[in-house]
Structure 1
Amino acid sequence: MSVPRTERWYRAVWRWHFYAGLLCVPFVLWLSVTGGLYLFKPQIEAALYAPYRGVATGPSLAPEVIAASAVAAVPGSVLHKYVLPESPRDAVEVLVGRGSEDVRVWVHPVTGAVLHQVPEEDRLMRVVFRLHGELLAGAWGSALVETAACWTIVMLLTGLFLWWPRGAARLAGVLYPRLRRGRALFWRDFHAVTGLWISLGALFLIASGLPWANAWGDYFSQVRAVTGTAAGRQDWSAGSATEAARRAREDAAMRAMMSEHADHHGMVMAHMAPPPASLDSVIASARRLHFAAPVDVSPPTAPGAPWQVRSQAENRPRRDSAEIAPDGALIGVQRFADRHWMDRAVGYGVAIHEGAWAGLANQLVNLAVLLGLVLLCLSSVVLWWRRRPTGGLGAPRTLAPLRHSWALVALVLVLAAAMPLFGLSLGLAVMVEAALGRTSPALRRWMGWREAAPAAAGP
C-alpha cells in the first residue's frame, strides 16, 4: 500500500526541521545565554557603577570645568557627550573621543577629580552586547547570527506544523507532556509542548532583534529610505563597524568646529575643550527639559548647527530629543510620538526585546522564553541521541517524491524576501545536499536520502 501524501509532507517538513535545528542549536544556546545576561543590564550596571553615585556634597563645578577635566584625562581627545547626572551628588559621566574610540570618564562634580575611565567598547555590557549580536567577529559574526536567527524562525514554524494535533482527542501530549508513557514519549512530548508554549515569544524576540543585524538592518534601512520614512536618526545599532564609522565622522566634525572656535578667539586649545559659554548654557537648558535619564548632550558637528540633547532611556518609547542653540535657546523638541510609525514600532519592539518596556515583569517573561529555548535545544539533542542510527546522521529519511505545491513555493519566496540571508542559505543548502547526495551511495545513506525502490516481486 502506498504512503499517504500527508505522511510524505510530514516527513519532508520533519527533515528540514532537523536540518534547521542542526544549524541553530549552538547559536540558540549562545544567544539565549548572552541575551539572558543582557536582559538585566540595568541591575548589573547599577551594581558595577555604584561607587560613583552619591560621592559629593556641596556645590558642583560648572559643566565646562567638568568636561575639561575629562578631556584632559585622555590626551588628544575631544568632548563627544556630556551625560546629565541623575543626582547632583553623583559623579558626572563624560564621553570623550579620539577618532572612532569613545572613552567614558567619571568626574567628581565638586573637585573635578577623575574617578574612573574606561573605553566605551570595553565596558562589560557592551562586550556582552557584541557577543550577543556579532560573536565579537564584526560583520561576519553578525551575518552568522542573522542566518541562524532566520533558520530558527523556520525551525519554529516547521516545529508547529509537526506539533499540530492530527486526530488527537486528549490534551496530553498536545498541551502538556505525558509522564507515564516511557522515556521516549516523554522526551518527544516535552520537546513539542515546550516549543508550543514559547514559540510566539521566541518568534517575537527573533523578529525584534533583526533590525540590529548587519544585512537585515541595512535591508530595513533601505526600505526606510525608499519609502521616505528615514527622516530621523536611526535609534538602534547598525553594527559595530557602522557605528565606529559614524563616531569617527562625528569626531572629525567636532574637532573642526572646536578648532574653528579656538582660532576665532585666538586661543591655543591643547585638549580641544568645548566652547565654555556654550556648554554651560546648553546644560542649563537641557536640565529644564526633564527628559528620561540618562540624557546625552552632544556638541554641534557643523557651522551654525545646534547642540543635540537625547534621552537614552532603556525604555525606548520614553526617548525624546531636542536641539539647543549655543546660547541655550531651545530650538525644538521631538517626542517619541512624533516619529514615523515604523520607527515607533521598532522602538517598542527593541524595548520589549531588551526587557525594558515593562520593567522586571518584561525581564522575567523574556527570561522564561529564553529558558524555554534552552530546554527546546537540550531536548532536541536528547531526541536525536536516542534515535540516531549507527553510521548515519540521523536525519528523517525521505520517502516518495512530493507533488509540486505553489503554496509552498510562495511561502518560501515570501520568507526569502523578508529574510534575504535565509533565501541565500536555503539555496546553498539545497545545492550542497544534492551535490553530496550524488557523491557516493554510502554518503547518500548516511544523509538519509530515499533509496531507489526495489523491483516488484512476482506473484
Structure 2
Amino acid sequence: MISSSPADAPGSVVPPRSSSFHATAWRWHFYAGLYVVPFLLMLAITGAVMVFFTGFQTRLGLPVNVALQDAVLPVSEQAQAALTRFPEATLATYTAPKTPELASWFELKHDGATHAVAVNPFTAEVMKVVDKDNTVFAWAEAIHGTLLLGPVGDALIEIAAGLGIVLLVTGVYMWWPRGGTPFAQVLVPNLRARGRLWWRSLHASLGFWLSAVLLTFLITGMAWTGVWGAKLVQPWNTFPTTKWSDIPLSEATHATLNSAGQHEVPWGLEQTPLPASGSMQGTPGVPAGHAVTIDTVAQLARQLGFKGQHHISWPQDDTGVFSISADSMSGDLTDPTQDRTVHVDRYTGRVLAEAAFEEYSAVAQFMAVATAFHQGDLGLWNAWLNLLFCAGVVFLCISGMVMWWKRRPAGTAHLFAPPLPANAARWKTGVVLLCVTGVLFPLTGVALLVVWLLDALLMSRWSTLKAALN
C-alpha cells in the first residue's frame, strides 16, 4: 500500500530505525504502492464478485431447480431440446446436475458466441438460456484478468502482481518487530491511537495478518498470466503426455476445452495436447458393438466413477475426443485432490488417456489446491473467508492512501516520496534484492529497472522532477 513513515510526528519523513536498508524498503514500498494500489483495488472488487457467484450461486447465476420425477431422459434427448433453441449451433459441453433437483446444462457454440442452456432432465424442457460471454461472472473475470485490454491488460496486471510481492515483502520487513519492540504491537492494532497513528496501526496489523494469503493469491494469479505463467512456469509443470504411451496426439491442447474466455481446465493440463481419435489404442471403454454416442459415453462416465456434477465435451473435429472431467476449476468439486479427466476415442469408444490429481507435478498439485482456495471453490467457508479477505485488501489500499495524505505537509503539491537512503552501500544491497525479484518475474523486473533509472539517474539531473517527487 502507499505507506506513511513509521515515525510518529506529523510530516516526519525519517523512520525511527534510521538504517539505510529500512529507508530503501520504505522508498520501494512507496513506489510499488503508487502502481499497485489501483490494481489491487480492482482485483479485490472483481474477485469479490467472482467469489459471490462461485460460492453462493453459480457462474451462470442462480441454480435452476426442477421437480423430481421417476426417470431421467437420455442425455441425447436433453441435448436435442437445447438445440431447438439454436438449430445451427454446435454442441460443446454437457454438464451433469450436481444433485437430482437441478437442471442439466448444455453449452452450444453459434456465431462466435457461447450459449448455456438449462434443460429439465426429466422432461427435456428448456428452463433457461444464458449468454455465457455476457454474465456478471464473465465480465468480472475478464476485467480481473485483462482489464478488457487483452494481452496489454494481462501484462499490466502481471507487473502489478510482481510489484505487489515487492510491496508485501517491504511492508513486512518495515513492520517486523525489532529492537525490543513486542510482537503484539504488530499483531494487535492500537485502537486507542488517533489520527494517522490509528490508520498506521490498523494498516500494519491487518497487512501482517493478510500477508501469507495475499502472497498466495499473487503467486496463483501470476501463474495464469501471459509471460511468467504461460511462458515460464506453466510449461515446466504441464502434465506430460509421456505418461500416455503410444497414444496419438492432436495439435489442440486442453485449453481448447475452455469456453467464453474463462479458465475451466486445471492449470496443469491447459498446455497438454489432447489425444486424437482414430486408432485402436487405449483400453476398453464403451462396450464393443455399441455406437459411440453421448448416451453411451455418459453411461461410461458413470461406470468410471463420475457422479454428481461433471462435464462431457463433444469432439470438435474429425480427430477430436469425448472428454469427461470433474474438477474444482469448473466448479464441479470442492476437493481439488479429486480432479480427474478421461478422454474417449470418438470412433472406437476406447479410453485413450486419463489425468488425475495424483499424477500432476508438485507445482501443478499446489496450483490445483491454491487456485481452488483463491476462487473460493472449497466450500462456503472458503467463499466467506475470501470475501473478508477482499474487504481487507480494500482497507489496506485505502489506509495506505490516507496515511500518505496525512503525512504530506499541508498545502504541498509534491508527491512527497520517502527520502533516498544515506548509505549507498546498503542502498545497493536493496537494489540487488530487487534485481533478484526482477529475474524471477521478468515483466516486474522491467518495471523495477524503469523506476530505478528514473530514481537514480534522472532524479539527480532533473530538478523539476526531483522537486515534484520530494
TM-score by length of 1: 0.79
The residue that corresponds to 2:295 in the other structure is 280
In the alignment, does 2:465 pair up with 1:443? yes
Of structures 1 and 2, the larger Rg is shown by 1
Inter-partner Cα distance in structure 1 for 2:94 and 2:431: 53
Confirm or deny: 8 A CA contact 2:36 2:161 kept in the other structure. yes
Structure 2 residue runs of 5 or longer lacking an equivalent are 1-14, 245-252, 265-276, 278-289
Confirm or deny: 8 A CA contact 1:151 1:422 kept in the other structure. yes
> What is the total number of aligned residue pairs between the two structures?
417
Inter-partner Cα distance in structure 2 for 1:98 and 1:156: 45
**Secondary structure, counterpart of 2:19 in structure 1:** helix
The residue that corresponds to 1:32 in the other structure is 44
- Rate the CA distance shift 1:416–1:59 in 2: closer, same or farther, 3 A: same
Confirm or deny: 8 A CA contact 1:309 1:322 kept in the other structure. yes
Confirm or deny: 8 A CA contact 1:214 1:238 kept in the other structure. no
Inter-partner Cα distance in structure 1 for 2:87 and 2:194: 69
Confirm or deny: 8 A CA contact 1:229 1:342 kept in the other structure. no
Confirm or deny: 8 A CA contact 1:69 1:112 kept in the other structure. yes
The residue that corresponds to 1:394 in the other structure is 416
The residue that corresponds to 1:310 in the other structure is 325
The residue that corresponds to 2:368 in the other structure is 347
- Per-residue Cα deviation, 1:157-185 (whole angstroms, up to 9, x for no partner): 00111112231343453332334454233
In the alignment, does 2:235 pair up with 1:222? yes
Inter-partner Cα distance in structure 1 for 2:190 and 2:16: 27
Confirm or deny: 8 A CA contact 1:139 1:241 kept in the other structure. no
- Rate the CA distance shift 1:443–1:14 in 2: closer, same or farther, 3 A: same
Residue identity in the other structure for 1:414: V
Residue identity in the other structure for 2:362: W
Inter-partner Cα distance in structure 2 for 1:23 and 1:7: 25
Alignment of 1:7-406 (within 5 A): 7-40=19-52, 41-45=54-58, 48-50=61-63, 52-55=64-67, 57-98=69-110, 100-171=112-183, 173-218=185-230, 219-224=232-237, 278-291=293-306, 293-301=308-316, 303=318, 306-313=321-328, 314=331, 315=334, 316-326=336-346, 330=351, 333-357=354-378, 359-389=379-409, 390-403=412-425
Structure 1 residue runs of 5 or longer lacking an equivalent are 245-256, 258-274, 449-459
- Rate the CA distance shift 1:277–1:237 in 2: closer, same or farther, 3 A: closer
Residue identity in the other structure for 2:310: V
- Per-residue Cα deviation, 1:410-450 (whole angstroms, up to 9, x for no partner): 533331222111101111222334565256423312212xx
**Secondary structure, counterpart of 2:185 in structure 1:** coil
**Secondary structure, counterpart of 1:212 in structure 2:** coil
Inter-partner Cα distance in structure 2 for 1:308 and 1:110: 24
Pick the structure with more helix per residue: 1
- Rate the CA distance shift 1:242–1:427 in 2: closer, same or farther, 3 A: farther
- Rate the CA distance shift 1:128–1:74 in 2: closer, same or farther, 3 A: same
Confirm or deny: 8 A CA contact 2:177 2:183 kept in the other structure. no
Inter-partner Cα distance in structure 1 for 2:183 and 2:297: 63
Confirm or deny: 8 A CA contact 1:104 1:118 kept in the other structure. yes
Q: Percent identity?
A: 29
Inter-partner Cα distance in structure 2 for 1:237 and 1:403: 53
Confirm or deny: 8 A CA contact 1:285 1:329 kept in the other structure. no
**Secondary structure, counterpart of 2:153 in structure 1:** helix
Inter-partner Cα distance in structure 2 for 1:239 and 1:220: 23
**Secondary structure, counterpart of 1:93 in structure 2:** strand
Inter-partner Cα distance in structure 1 for 2:161 and 2:237: 22
Inter-partner Cα distance in structure 2 for 1:111 and 1:17: 60
Residue identity in the other structure for 1:334: A
Confirm or deny: 8 A CA contact 1:84 1:295 kept in the other structure. yes
**Secondary structure, counterpart of 1:167 in structure 2:** coil
- Rate the CA distance shift 1:198–1:408 in 2: closer, same or farther, 3 A: same
Residue identity in the other structure for 2:397: C
